[in-house]
Amino acid sequence: MSSLWLLMLLMLLVAVVFVLLATGKQRRYHKRQDENQRWYEQRLAELEEERSQYDLPDEDYQHAKQELDKTFLNDSQDVEENVHWHRAPVALPIVLLLVVSAGLYWAFGSWQLQLQAEDARKQLPELGKTLLQQQNQQASREDLNTFALGLRQKLMREPEDAIAWWIYAGIMVDLGAGEDADEAFQKSLQIEPNRVNTLVSYSRFLLMSGAEDGQPKAARLLARALKQDPDNIEALSLLGFVAFERQDWAQAISAWELLKERLPKTSERYQAVVNALDNAKEQQEKAEVQLQVRVQLSDNMRHHLPENGTLFVYVTGMEQPMPAAVVRQPVSEFPVTVTLSNQNAMLPDYKMSDLDQWQVHARISQDEKIDRQAGDLEAERVTINADGSAELTLTLSSRIEE
């Protein structure tokens, strides 16, 4: 059918170009013909008038009329033969040529693409086997593209195939087509919402994508997967990773403990999980590090207490003035007790648990700035060894002078 349309369009193209580029016959005698007609009718009227008013004999009238008719016919023939041939405007055939060419390209291109897509669909089983055999190697991009094209053809015929959508999503991940992969994963889950392999694969994709909502969404999907299959190794591994990234050390440890129990001790993955567990437990111990500080105000400083002051309690290192943890709150009744921990860190890579010794500070600022200023009230700083849990008291007993 496509070949027939192609042939018809080619014939149409040839015919249009031939007609429009051929020299067209343009008649220009219309104006002269009208003039001859008017002249003939005028002369005939004069003959009629001469015959009626001047008794022109019939023989002379007929002779004159014959000569008039002959003259009119000769003049008309001359006009008919006076023909000019002009080349048709070039722009029109060019435009039509482009339009017809576009139609030919569309028909031919679509036909070729359809043949390519159909061929890819037929190769789908064999390509699938080839890609499975190459799972430990790098499959060629050409094979992946052909396989994806064949899968699209299959999904057009069978849109409710959840496994095909899942496979297609994986191919899109390999090809770097993130939006297509995300859409395919969602379509697969719409058809089979609790399919474990899809839930786990989609979670892994979300974690790799770095999307803002990737981690919480992946965590929800992994919870659904583990509800269906509590012993799923991939789901446990990813859940531990998500928890670790969110600094939920307890959940990370729980997930990786379960994973460790299900892995052979001789496997490389087992040792990797042991190392991850040790790291999570260490981070949990650091997260439990805290310092409780009781801040009191000396009697001689009460009349210097600013009305809208801000209390800062913070910890620095011995050689680093940047606070590793800060608590800030409006001035209230004294004494005040605050707790400092890694959760009060100002920077993600500089925390209380990273220090061997803590220098503890307390200051009341007249505004909301932590920097020392004239008029601020402060306590004498105290240095203590970093410990898992400690308590101390600071007394605001001096006022910074000009």
> CA nearest 378: which of 398, 354, 352?
398
Q: Within a 10 A sphere around the Cβ of 386, how many other Cβ atoms?
A: 17
Across the range 163-186, mean pLDDT stands at 88
* Number of domains the chain contains: 1
pLDDT, mean of residues 64-77: 64
% of residues, the chain, pLDDT over 70: 65
Radius of gyration of the chain (CA): 48
Ranked by mean pLDDT, the top range of 12-21, 131-140, 248-257 is 248-257
Residue 363 falls inside a structural domain: yes
pLDDT at 233: 93
Q: What is the pLDDT of residue 209?
A: 85
Cis peptide before 335, with omega less than 30 degrees from 0?
yes
pLDDT in tens, 187-201: 999 999 999 999 999
Per-residue pLDDT at 22:
45
Q: Which of 4-8, 9-13, 26-30 has the highest mean pLDDT?
A: 9-13
Q: Are the C-beta atoms of 391 and 338 separated by less than 8 Å? A: no
Does residue 143 belong to any structural domain of this protein? no
Establish if 136 belongs to a structural domain. no
Whether 326 is covered by a domain: the verdict is: yes
Can you tell me the mean pLDDT for 253-266?
92
Cβ atoms within 10 Å, residue 328: 14
**Residue 368 maps to a domain:** yes
Write out the residue range of the structural domain in which residue 353 sits. 290-399
Asked if residue 2 has pLDDT above 50, the reply is: no
- Please give the pLDDT value at position 348: 82
Give the pLDDT score at 136.
Answer: 41
- Answer yes or no: is 340 within a domain: yes
Question: Is 311 contained in some domain?
Answer: yes
Residue 18 lies in a domain: no
**348-393 tens-digit pLDDT:** 888 888 888 899 999 999 888 888 888 899 999 999 988 777 889 9
- Cα–Cα dist 289/394, whole Å: 19
Question: Please, what is the average pLDDT of the chain?
Answer: 77
Q: Mean pLDDT: which of 52-56, 121-125, 292-296 is highest?
A: 292-296
**Confidence grade of residue 36 (pLDDT, cut at 50, 70, 90):** low
Q: What is the pLDDT of residue 82?
A: 52
